[in-house]
């Protein structure tokens, strides 16, 4: 692919991404949105964050891996308990990584 | 009410973003190295990070450049992979509605998965009058470290110890930031549905599973809210 084409991908890909990010913040007036839509907004964070995390824990190479040798699942459970108790990002990441490293040493 | 001053909010944003760098910096290093090995010229590889600033889309786009896909197809793929940012935009829009336009333009530019996750936790805490400075602090920290780590990846490749599972740091971060968003039964229902549906739809390409699962989960959250608020208990949200 020519360098000019790659720069075109960068420019148009960047523009598309920026327009998506701007969409509701700066392009679509909030008041015009239906009430049910606005009511649903508060569920976006729990829905999305959970949808990012859970597949990372229970899927391995695209297949469901609900077994004890799925170390990421076990480490994720440890991290979830720490997150629940401490509400600290540092401690959650630290506990999860430490658990994963220790499990890999077993 | 005493609002915390802008510089304090900004610095709090920077500070709270630091643990996320554990996952973001290796990601940036790998992106830089991968783009070069896919045949992207160094300046254009940095251009991806400067202009697009979205890790997953950049990875897929650079890989597609390497495999000789048509430019138009790559742009379309970037668009699809980044559709989830519309959800972030919608979620933050009410919080940013009162700000001048330049703030909206800047904070939208900096709106990534990580920035959104941090913002969602920040807006669960009180004193929101200067919270946009917090978002600016998190966003700029993330942006700067993404540029630097991309440059390092371009220049020297990845020299990370392979034994360290640092890629796991990002899901752990999102797990930590999920916690403050679980405040009542409907938000739990949305999280449970989002996670389960994302697992079921995990086979869909371009993060479409994530977008569809999240949309359905928002609907489930709303439905549970309607059902559970029918009695007179009128739970406060």
Residues A27 and A54 in one domain: no
Distance, in Å, from the CA atom of B114 to the CA atom of B110, rounded to the nearest integer, reads 10
Which two structure tokens, joined as six digits, stand for B233?
């208990």
A104 and A87 share one domain: yes
Instruction: Identify which of A93, A40, A103 has the alpha carbon closest to the alpha carbon of residue A71.
Output: A103
Instruction: Please answer whether residues A31 and B113 qualify as being in contact, where contact means their C-beta atoms are separated by less than 8 angstroms.
Output: no
Task: Based on the fold, state whether residues A22 and A66 are members of the same structural domain.
Answer: no
Chain A contact present for B106, CB below 8 A? no
Where is pLDDT greater, at B127 or A44?
A44
Q: What is the ipTM for the molecules in this complex?
A: 0.89
Residue A42 is given by DSSP the state G
Q: Do A51 and A72 belong together in one domain?
A: yes
Query: How many beta carbons lie within 10 A of that of residue B86, not counting itself?
Result: 17
Asked if residue A86 and residue A49 are part of one domain, the reply reads: yes
Whether the predicted pLDDT of A37 surpasses 70: yes
Q: Which of residues 25-44 of A touch B (CB under 8 A)?
A: 25-26, 28, 30, 36-44
For residue B195, the chain A residues in CB contact (below 8 A) are: 50-51, 53-55
**CA-to-CA distance for B212 and B201, rounded, in angstroms?**
8
* Domain shared by A47 and A65, yes or no: yes
Q: In B11-105, which ranges are E strands?
A: none
- Residue A81: count other Cβ atoms within 10 Å of its Cβ: 12
Contact by Cβ (8 Å): B60, A9 = no
DSSP state of A60: E
Band the pLDDT of B44: cuts 50, 70, 90.
Answer: very high
**What pLDDT is stored for residue A64 in this prediction?**
87
**Mean pLDDT for the stretch of residues A24-32:** 87
The pTM assigned to this predicted structure is: 0.89
Per-residue pLDDT tens for A59-100? 888 888 888 889 999 999 999 999 999 888 889 999 999 999
């Amino acid at each position: 692919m020519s360098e000019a084409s790659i720069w075109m991908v960068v420019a148009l890909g960047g523009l598309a991404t920026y327009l998506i990010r701007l969409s509701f913040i700066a392009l679509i007036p909030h008041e015009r949105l239906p009430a049910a839509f606005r009511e649903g907004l508060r569920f976006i964070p729990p829905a999305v964050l959970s949808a990012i995390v859970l597949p990372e824990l229970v899927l391995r190479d695209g297949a469901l891996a609900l077994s004890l040798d799925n170390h990421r699942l076990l480490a994720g459970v440890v991290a979830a308990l720490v997150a629940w108790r401490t509400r600290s990002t540092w401690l959650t990441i630290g506990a999860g990584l430490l658990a994963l490293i220790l499990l890999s040493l077993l | 009410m005493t609002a915390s001053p802008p510089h304090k909010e900004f610095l709090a944003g920077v500070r709270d973003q630091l643990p996320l760098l554990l996952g973001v910096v290796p990601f940036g290093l790998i992106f830089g190295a991968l783009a070069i090995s896919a045949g992207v010229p160094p300046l254009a590889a940095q251009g991806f990070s400067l202009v697009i600033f979205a890790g997953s889309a950049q990875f897929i786009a650079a890989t597609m450049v390497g495999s000789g896909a048509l430019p138009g197809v790559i742009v379309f793929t970037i668009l699809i992979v980044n559709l989830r940012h519309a959800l972030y935009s919608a979620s933050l829009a009410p919080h940013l509605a009162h700000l001048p336009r330049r703030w909206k333009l800047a904070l939208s530019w900096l709106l990534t998965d990580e920035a959104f996750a941090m913002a969602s936790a920040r807006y669960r805490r009180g004193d929101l009058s200067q919270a946009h400075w917090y978002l600016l602090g998190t966003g700029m920290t993330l942006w700067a470290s993404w540029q630097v780590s991309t440059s390092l990846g371009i220049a020297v490749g990845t020299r990370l110890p392979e034994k360290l599972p640092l890629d796991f740091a990002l899901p752990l971060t999102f797990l930590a930031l999920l916690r403050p968003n679980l405040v009542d039964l409907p938000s739990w229902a949305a999280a449970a549905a989002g996670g389960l549906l994302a697992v079921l739809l995990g086979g869909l390409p371009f993060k479409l599973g994530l977008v569809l699962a999240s949309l359905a989960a928002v609907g489930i959250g709303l439905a549970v809210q309607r059902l559970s608020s029918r009695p007179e208990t009128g739970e406060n949200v």
